[in-house]
Chain A
Amino acid sequence: GQQVMQIPQYQHVQEGEDFTTYCNSSTTLSNIQWYKQRPGGHPVFLIQLVKSGEVKKQKRLTFQFGEAKKNSSLHITATQTTDVGTYFCAGGDNYGQNFVFGPGTRLSVLP
């Protein structure tokens, strides 16, 4: 079945440094979604990418969907302590099913 991997598993950065997490799927995705989960909280939707090669920005966050629609990345510029949490990518197949979450990248930001 479809598998989604993320690297790195953990990332510790100093406040102000940049951060990137990468997401790779074993199969072509119809779309990719990114969620953030704060410690003790529930996943919160950040963004959805649908088109091949799509790039979207939200303030300090930049999201990219690969040309083959099998990989994606999330880049945070100048991290802040409020960015702490686990970032998950998730996607489904072309039939709108088999929706799978990646294992997540846990970000720690040291003040």
Chain B
Amino acid sequence: EAGVAQSPRYKIIEKRQSVAFWCNPISGHATLYWYQQILGQGPKLLIQFQNNGVVDDSQLPKDRFSAERLKGVDSTLKIQPAKLEDSAVYLCASSPGTSGAYNEQFFGPGTRLTVL
């Protein structure tokens, strides 16, 4: 079974530029998560999708971050414009079923973003 795929693996941009990350979850997984993990900290949930609907985006900085999962499969996370404090690893995870918080989450390898 293929795991969660993410691209790119690394990205370096300058502040005020835009960046997009892509995630393809495990086939058949209804729930998809985007996390931000700053070095030395635990992952912070940015947004949770169930199929193509948003379940929780309470911690997403909506003035600069956006995410979509149009067909209920793969997803993109965008930052526009980026700030220095956005430097982090962006992790995508997926889980089977629709009770997101009650299911094992499978994480992708992450995208390491550096904002200069």
Contacts and interface: CB of A to CB of B under 8 A. Distances in A.
A72 B58 CA distance: 25
Contacts of B42: 4, 88, 90, 101-104
Contacts of A82: none
Interface band, chain A: 20 to 34
Given A31-B101, A45-B105, A48-B104, A99 B45 contact: yes
Interface string A53-91: 000000000000000000000000000000000001011
Nearest to B44: A101
Contacts, number: 64
A99 B99 CA distance: 12
Contacts of A93: 101
B54 to A, nearest CB: 11
A42 B58 contact: no
B109 interface: yes
B101 A30 contact: yes
Given A30-B102, A33-B104, A99-B48, A43 B43 contact: yes
Nearest to B33: A99
B91 interface: yes
A101 B48 CA distance: 14
Given A42-B91, A101-B42, A101-B44, A96 B108 contact: no
Interface string A19-44: 00000000000110101000000111
B56 interface: yes
A98 B56 contact: yes
18 contacts: A31-B101, A33-B105, A42-B91, A45-B104, A48-B104, A88-B42, A91-B101, A93-B101, A96-B100, A97-B55, A98-B56, A98-B58, A98-B101, A99-B33, A102-B42, A103-B41, A104-B41, A104-B42
